[in-house]
Structure 1
Amino acid sequence: MRMQWDAFLAAVQERGEYPSRREADRAARVVLALLGAHLVGNERAELAAGLPETCALVLLNPLPAAEPLGPERFVRATAAWIEGATEETAKWDVGAVLSVAADTAGDDLMRRILLQLPPGYDLLFGRPGMT
């Protein structure tokens, strides 16, 4: 069953301790667009199917990444896309969004997603040692 946009944003806002939904929305869109550029095939489609439609569209529509970004570069890329962000705040943004997405995905799908990504993403998703 697809999660609703308001519920997803509320969860991201709570995890990220954002003062407004707008900040949670911005983080969600940037992080999911970057993630979508790194996932392919069934795993990306299955993750999108469980996320709110707005998130699914962001996840499914980016151009594929030219090369896979390791976790540190993923965080730096997030910081570059969020105005005023630092690597530290971007790491917080990534963790808030990806941990909510991981909760939505469930363990089986998360294991398959983590197999597509460079080592270290388990920490970004809040699932240390899952791979």
Structure 2
Amino acid sequence: MRWSELIEAVRRSGQYPTAEEAERVAGVVLSALGGQVTGEERVDLARRLPPEAARLIADQVPEVRPHTAPEFVESVARRLEGATPATARWDVSSVLAVLADAVGDELVDRLLGLLPSGYALLFGRAELAPAA
């Protein structure tokens, strides 16, 4: 997948009016994700994405402790001018759903295994809890 194809998929997914808006949102979300993912999963994620997206992820210093899903959305809201938690959740989900399609289920499963509970919904997946 080329960067332009990724951005067009994000534009459609998030119903953004322009490719520039989709690119701005994708850049913020991918940068934020880069701070959450470590190890082999980070390397594999960067390897499966266009070079522009891979750089956004690889250039981030991983956080000491991964953010919870709500903290992640809040961090994106702080980085996007005029964003609210609700619009940031839309932005995050729009980008991460496209990312999930681009990198495949196996890698998304591994990423979700690294991240705290709650991220599955951001990737467009149901998050099933074990029966009590």
Same fold at TM > 0.5: yes
Match of 2:89 among 88, 91, 111: 91
Aligned partner of 2:38 in structure 1 is 40
TM-score where L is the length of structure 1: 0.94
1:30 aligned to 19, 28, 31, which one? Answer: 28
Alpha-carbon distance, 1:42 to partner? 1.2
Change over 3 Å in CA distance of 1:42–1:130 after alignment to 2: farther
User: Superposition RMSD on alpha carbons, in Å?
Assistant: 1.3
Q: Does residue 62 of structure 1 match 2:63?
A: no
Question: In the comparison of the two structures, how many residue pairs are matched?
Answer: 129
- 2: CA distance, partners of 1:84 / 1:77: 13
Query: 1:127, CA displacement in angstroms?
Result: 1.5
Per the TM alignment, residue 103 of structure 1 is displaced from its structure 2 partner at its CA by 0.6
Corresponding residue for residue 102 of structure 1: 100
**Identity, % of aligned pairs?**
44
Letter in 2 for 1:61: D
Q: Which moved more, 1:61-70 or 1:98-107?
A: 61-70
Unaligned runs of at least 5 residues, structure 2: none
Structure 1 runs not aligned, ≥5 long: none
Aligned to 2:113: 115
